[in-house]
Amino acid sequence: MSEIRLFVTSSEKQVEAVLDVMSTIFEDEDFAIATMEIDEKRDVWEASVYMMADEEESVRVRLVEALAADFSHLPIEREVLPDIDWIAKSLEGLAPVRAGRFVIHGSHDREKVRTGEIAIEIDAGQAFGTGHHGTTAGCLEVLASVAHTRPVRNVLDLGTGSGVLAIAAWKLLHVPVLATDIDAIATRVASENARRNGVVTGMTFATAPGFHSTAFSANGPFDLIIANILARPLMKMAPQLVANLTPGGSVILSGILAEQRWKVLAAYNGQRLKHERTIWRNGWVTIHLTK
């Protein structure tokens, strides 16, 4: 089935406002949303939402409705994207990513690892997390800095995807790591990636939505919790997440668009966590808080 892009074209300022509207209506769903500069001199930009062909009509109806109030003058255009083997394509373009002391690379780039780097080998596959997304790279950067400043005896990676953050924490800290995901395929991929990266003991995997598993009480509470999910589930889970954190422990949250950060901070301040630092990468923020 083809992939479709629905988009509007305008100035950078208007396109940013349209992107805000798009993120509000589609924030809990899997549709990718992006802005792109078309012509720098003429200030021409596009805001796009991507979907599969069978979802186009319902997305279009919602988009027209949401843009009606302030942007009805902007026509919604459409592009059918060519069918591409995305996994092969993404592998071709995946250069190693460096964040803190970490380098995340595909198996085709093993020789590019430099002395002193902590290398994590992840090939693009069925689970999210090759290090190229701003949220993953942001978590790695904060992880490296947290490890310098605080003793960490165990780690929880909630929403592990490819396992990249769990493997990074294990390689950096040499402590037990629990890696969980709502998606059983992700948990399987994460454990295969862990094995491929030389993790033999000290890492536990569980498939669980949020904190609904005995794995959390069996392995926690945790000195460090990393959760790269999305703003809304992170806000909802704040009480349980903080209950699973040791006093003095650290939380690294990502999957949060810059404009959503205040709501997420409010949810965690409400649980008496202290804000330490927020970093930005490609429009996404990663937040470090302590208990």
Ligand X SMILES: C[S@@+](CC[C@H](N)C(=O)[O-])C[C@H]1O[C@@H](n2cnc3c(N)ncnc32)[C@H](O)[C@@H]1O
Give the total residue count for the chain: 291
Considering the complex, state which of residue 59 and residue 186 has its C-beta at the smaller distance from ligand X. Answer: 186
Stretch that binds ligand X, among 87-95, 129-137, 197-205, 269-277 (CB under 6 A): 129-137
Least CB distance from residue 73 to ligand X, whole Å?
A: 35
Say whether 154 sits in a helix, a strand or coil.
Answer: coil
Q: How many CB atoms lie within 10 A of CB 76?
A: 15
Q: The tokens 């809990």 sit on which residue? A: 28
Please answer whether residues 275 and 265 qualify as being in contact, where contact means their C-beta atoms are separated by less than 8 angstroms: yes
Contact residues for 54 (Cβ-Cβ < 8 A; gap 6+) = 1
State the binding string over 141-170 for ligand X (x if CB under 6 A, else -): -----------------xxxx--xx-----
Q: Is 17 exposed, middle or buried (0-12, 13-18, 19+ CB in 10 A)?
A: middle
Question: To the nearest whole angstrom, how small is the minimum distance from the Cβ of residue 59 to ligand X?
Answer: 21
Nearer to ligand X, 7 or 129 (CB): 129
Residues 239-258 that bind ligand X (CB under 6 A): 255
Span from 6-14, 176-184, 245-253, 257-265 in contact with ligand X (CB under 6 A): 176-184
Distance separating alpha carbons of residues 36 and 175, to the nearest angstrom: 42
Give the annotated binding-site residues. Answer: 136, 159, 181, 228
Please report, as ranges, the residues that interact with ligand X according to CB under 6 A: 127-129, 135-136, 139, 158-161, 164-165, 180-183, 186, 209-210, 228-229, 233, 255
